[in-house]
């Protein structure tokens, strides 16, 4: 297989470009999108690469159509992705719920920008944390990943496809304008260096008849893609194991929704990824995600120089959220600080996790700038 970009070596590229290349290497062969700053470069790169690898890149009439198209493509057997920013992500929410309900593997990139509404189109923010987790309606479960470097944007994109395929679920890659437009050195591996996960397909007629069952006990049903003679009916209505609409029986709805939760929560140890930095003996902890983590690393170093035993917990997965881990952390430290580029979204999750075992303080910043390390340091030393 020939690639339209160099593999097996490093390149100096933007976050958006890294996401596009990672998607191609992850096996994505269907991209549908609608232009929006700061995500457009993902689309432009996909438009350039996709035809060369016999994939599809298509500009749809809006974001609703874009996510609809990738869900359709996924049922036709393709790994599929779309990318957008806040306003477009809002438009996608109904169909994001449809992907949850129909257990369709897709990857949705949300390059956050300052909102609400059209807000600050070119400036970074972390205002969609809650939207990515709770934006669609009804009880639902999905996976949200958040990179903090261009290399992570690349790596997490591949991981997003793997998790989507493995758990038959939509995965949101939540990044921001800063990473999208920043150039950094990224190692682009050779295909043979990348571990790829492919969705489970039915092994026999029995399995194919239960497209929403649990034949393997792991909560993840094999996916009978279209055109294989299985004659699968897929609906966003509450359905039984065979996919038949059953909209008024409480038990059936509960069984379905709880399995959709279970298939992810039972594997949360594998799904949740976080990194600790100088946290072993820490008395104060900083919990961050995305771009702010980089300022926080520097802040921890400065704090240590000042004699403050600070440590950092960087969340690579935002959802599912490890509430238990945060509680343990809260038992070990005196105080937890949550610097984030919004007026308090991750903060609520951390506070719930801490469960009163430690004080939790928000270090909010909005307006389009990342916290400087000193802004974090000053708040910690008071």
Partner 1 sequence: MYLKSAYEIRDKYLRKDMLPTIFCPGCGIGSVLQFTLRAIDDLGLNQDEIVWVSGIGCSSRVPGFVNFDGLHTTHGRALAFATGIKLANPDLKIIAFMGDGDAAAIGGNHFIHAIRRNLDVTVILINNFTYGMTGGQVAPTALKGLRGTTAPYGQFENPFDIANLAVSAGANYVARWTVFNYLQGINSIKKALQKEGFTLVEFLSPCPISFGRRNRMKTAPELIRWYQKITVPLAKAKKMSEEELEGKIVIGEFADRDRPGLVREYQEYIKRAKKMMGWEQ
Smaller CB distance to partner 1: residue 76 or 343? 76
- Whether the CA torsion 43, 44, 49, 55 is positive or negative: it is positive
Whichever of 98 and 161 has its CB closer to partner 1, that residue is 98
Cβ 146 vs Cβ 275: under 8 Å: no
| 8 Å CB contact between 318 and 133 | yes
Strand, helix or coil for residue 111: strand
Least Å distance between CB 117 and partner 1?
21
Q: Is 119 helix (H, G, I), strand (E, B) or coil?
A: coil
| Token pair of 294 as six digits | 């980089």
Minimum distance between the CB of residue 201 and partner 1, rounded to whole angstroms?
A: 14
Measured CA to CA, the distance from residue 313 to residue 233 in angstroms comes to: 44
Q: Is 314 helix (H, G, I), strand (E, B) or coil?
A: strand
Task: Give the shortest CB-378-to-partner 1 separation in angstroms.
Answer: 48
Q: Which is nearer to partner 1, 68 or 299 (CB)?
A: 68
> CA nearest 56: which of 17, 89, 88, 28?
28
CA dist 309 and 278 (Å) reads 8
Least separation, in Å, of the C-beta of 227 and partner 1?
5
Closest distance of CB 253 from partner 1, Å: 17
Task: Report the residue number, 70 or 380, with the smaller CB distance to partner 1.
Answer: 70
Nearer to partner 1, 71 or 108 (CB): 71
> Contact at 8 Å (CB) between 356 and 331?
no
Q: CB nearer to partner 1: give 245 or 356.
A: 245
Rounded Cα distance, 271 and 143, in Å: 8
- For the chain, state the CA radius of gyration: 21
> Taking the complex as a whole, how short is the minimal distance between the CB of residue 95 and partner 1, in angstroms?
6
CB of 4 to partner 1, least distance (A): 7
Contacts with partner 1, residue ranges (CB under 8 A): 2, 4, 29-30, 32, 51-52, 54, 56, 58, 60-62, 64-66, 68-78, 80, 94-95, 98, 226-237, 244-245
CB of 179 to partner 1, least distance (A): 28
Nearer of residues 70 and 370 to partner 1, judged by Cβ: 70
Q: SS3 of 245, please?
A: strand
Nearer to partner 1, 73 or 188 (CB): 73
Which of 285, 286, 304, 283 has its CA nearest to residue 296? 286
Taking alpha carbons only, the member of 210, 228, 229 closest to residue 220 is: 210
């Amino acid at each position: 297989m020939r690639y339209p970009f160099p593999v097996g070596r490093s390149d100096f590229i933007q976050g958006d470009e890294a996401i596009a290349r990672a998607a191609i290497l992850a096996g994505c062969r269907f991209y549908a999108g609608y232009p929006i700053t700061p995500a457009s470069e993902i689309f432009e790169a996909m438009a350039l690469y996709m035809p060369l690898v016999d994939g599809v890149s298509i500009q749809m009439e809006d974001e609703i159509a874009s996510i609809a198209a990738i869900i359709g493509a996924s049922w036709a057997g393709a790994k599929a992705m779309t990318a957008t920013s806040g306003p477009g992500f809002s438009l996608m929410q109904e169909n994001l719920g449809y992907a949850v309900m129909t257990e369709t593997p897709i990857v949705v990139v949300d390059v956050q920008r300052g909102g609400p509404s059209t807000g600050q189109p070119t400036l970074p923010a972390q205002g969609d944390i809650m939207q990515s987790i709770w934006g669609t309606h009804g009880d639902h479960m999905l996976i949200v990943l958040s990179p903090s470097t261009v290399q992570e944007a690349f790596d997490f994109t591949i991981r997003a496809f793997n998790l989507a395929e493995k758990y038959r679920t939509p995965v949101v890659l939540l990044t921001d304008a800063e990473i999208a437009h920043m150039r950094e050195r990224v190692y682009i591996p050779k295909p043979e260096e990348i571990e790829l996960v492919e969705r489970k397909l039915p092994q026999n007629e029995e399995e194919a008849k239960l497209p929403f069952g649990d034949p393997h006990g792991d909560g993840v049903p094999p996916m009978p893609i279209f055109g294989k003679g299985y004659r699968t009916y897929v609906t966003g209505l509450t359905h039984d194991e065979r996919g038949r609409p059953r909209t008024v029986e409480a038990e059936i709805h509960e069984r379905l929704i709880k399995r959709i939760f279970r298939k992810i929560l039972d594997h949360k140890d594998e799904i949740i990824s976080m990194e600790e930095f100088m946290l072993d003996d820490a008395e104060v902890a900083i919990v961050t995600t995305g771009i702010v983590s980089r300022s926080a690393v520097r802040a921890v170093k400065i704090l240590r120089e000042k004699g403050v035993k600070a440590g950092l917990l960087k969340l690579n997965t935002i959802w599912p959220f490890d509430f238990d881990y945060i509680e343990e952390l809260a038992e070990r430290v005196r105080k937890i600080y949550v610097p984030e580029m919004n007026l308090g979204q991750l903060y609520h999750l951390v506070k719930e996790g801490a469960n009163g075992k430690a004080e939790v303080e928000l270090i909010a910043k909005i307006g389009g700038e990342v916290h400087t390390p000193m802004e974090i340091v000053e708040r910690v030393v008071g």
